């Protein structure tokens, strides 16, 4: 179990879900992970539901913006990376060939953020923290434990993110499929990059949540109307699985050793 009070720039620090049915999603994930919620008002009859494990915030759930629905975008979990300056990072991302879909803007006094699509097509968000540093708990059951990019050009993605965030990547030893392990500038493990699975899947960042009982959690996914896309898979150091909530958002599960 790892509590956090700050994040090194270039580190994944937060995740939130944009969904078509906020109340149903809250019920689903509460049943899965035991989350409790604080509904923070962000507009007239609009709430940003902050999810907690114990007294530590781990994620959030919000209604999908109408613009995304009109564009046909499915509900999705978003990956946030902490940066020193959202404005400077977005400018640099554009120089490196990314598309900035939302220029830097303030989220009240919580922080400053922007939305980016990388050169290979995957979306991510940058987060310049103010009052909200990100998740107060990671690498614990019900909390964020890993972020993984499915990219049609893993080497190209590694170069882009390396130039943007200072990440270094190295092949995972013993992996049957190509897999690059991401480390931050200080050497901390920070996620992975792999080819799309199954082949042809659009590029996206997959969010992993930890569980101490993978089989029981997968059973709850099915019982609550979700879908198990990839069942329990032994990767040596842990077991993983991929699931889809009833509204269509895809997420992954991890059961194994957790870093502090």
The Cα–Cα gap between 197 and 73 comes to 19
Residue 54 lies inside a defined structural domain of this protein: yes
CATH of the domain at 193: 3.10.180.10
pLDDT per residue, tens digit, the chain (260 aa), is: 589 999 999 999 999 999 999 999 999 999 999 999 999 998 888 999 999 999 999 999 999 988 777 778 899 999 999 999 999 999 999 999 999 999 999 999 999 999 999 999 999 999 999 999 999 999 999 999 999 999 999 999 999 999 999 999 999 887 778 999 999 989 999 999 999 988 889 999 999 999 999 999 999 999 999 999 999 999 888 999 999 999 999 999 999 988 87
Specify the pTM: 0.96
Alpha helix (H) residue ranges in the chain:
22-33, 66-70, 86-95, 154-165, 214-223
List the structure tokens of 194.
């792999």
> At which of 111, 129, 147 does a domain end?
129
| Same domain assignment for residues 117 and 44 | yes
The position carrying tokens 């999603």 is 25
| Same domain assignment for residues 121 and 172 | no
pLDDT of residue 26: 98
| Same domain assignment for residues 149 and 239 | yes
Residue 1 lies inside a defined structural domain of this protein: no
| Same domain assignment for residues 43 and 97 | yes
| Same domain assignment for residues 24 and 117 | yes
Residue 2 lies inside a defined structural domain of this protein: no
Q: Which domain holds residue 159?
A: 138-256
The Cα–Cα gap between 240 and 253 comes to 5
Question: Cβ distance 203 to 209 under 8 Å?
Answer: no
> At which of 129, 159, 191 does a domain end?
129
CA distances from 171 to 122, 180, 190 (A): 21, 5, 14
| Same domain assignment for residues 110 and 178 | no
Max CA pair span of the chain: 52
Q: What DSSP string describes 38-60?
A: EEEEEETTEEEEEEEETTEEEEE
Q: How many CA atoms lie within 13 A of 260 on its CB side?
A: 0
- CA dihedral (19, 148, 101, 99) in degrees, to 10, reads -160
Number of domains in the chain: 2
CA distances from 106 to 86, 114, 125, 130, 167 (A): 10, 9, 13, 10, 26
């Amino acid at each position: 179990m790892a509590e956090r009070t700050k994040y090194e720039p270039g580190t994944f620090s937060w995740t939130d879900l944009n969904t078509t049915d906020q109340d149903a999603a809250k019920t689903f994930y509460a049943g899965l992970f035991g989350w409790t919620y604080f509904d923070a008002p962000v507009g007239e009859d609009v709430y940003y539901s902050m999810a907690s494990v114990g007294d530590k915030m781990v994620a959030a759930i919000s209604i999908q913006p109408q613009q995304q629905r009109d564009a046909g975008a499915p509900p999705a979990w978003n990956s946030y990376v902490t940066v020193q300056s959202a404005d400077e990072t977005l400018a640099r991302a554009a120089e490196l060939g990314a598309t900035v879909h939302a220029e830097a803007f303030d989220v009240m006094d919580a922080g400053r953020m922007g939305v980016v699509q990388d050169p290979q097509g995957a979306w991510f968000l940058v987060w310049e923290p103010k009052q909200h540093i990100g998740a107060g708990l990671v690498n614990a059951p019900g909390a964020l434990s890993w972020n993984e990019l499915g990219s049609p050009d893993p080497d190209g993605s590694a170069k882009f993110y390396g130039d943007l965030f200072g990440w270094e990547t190295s092949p995972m030893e013993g992996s049957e499929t190509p897999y690059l392990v991401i480390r931050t500038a200080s050497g901390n493990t920070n996620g992975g990059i792999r080819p799309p699975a199954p082949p042809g899947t659009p590029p996206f960042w997959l969010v992993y949540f930890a569980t101490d009982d993978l089989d029981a959690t997968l059973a709850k996914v099915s019982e609550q109307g979700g879908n198990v896309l990839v069942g329990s898979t032994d990767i040596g150091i842990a077991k993983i699985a991929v699931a889809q909530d009833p509204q269509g958002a895809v997420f992954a599960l991890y059961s194994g050793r957790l870093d502090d």
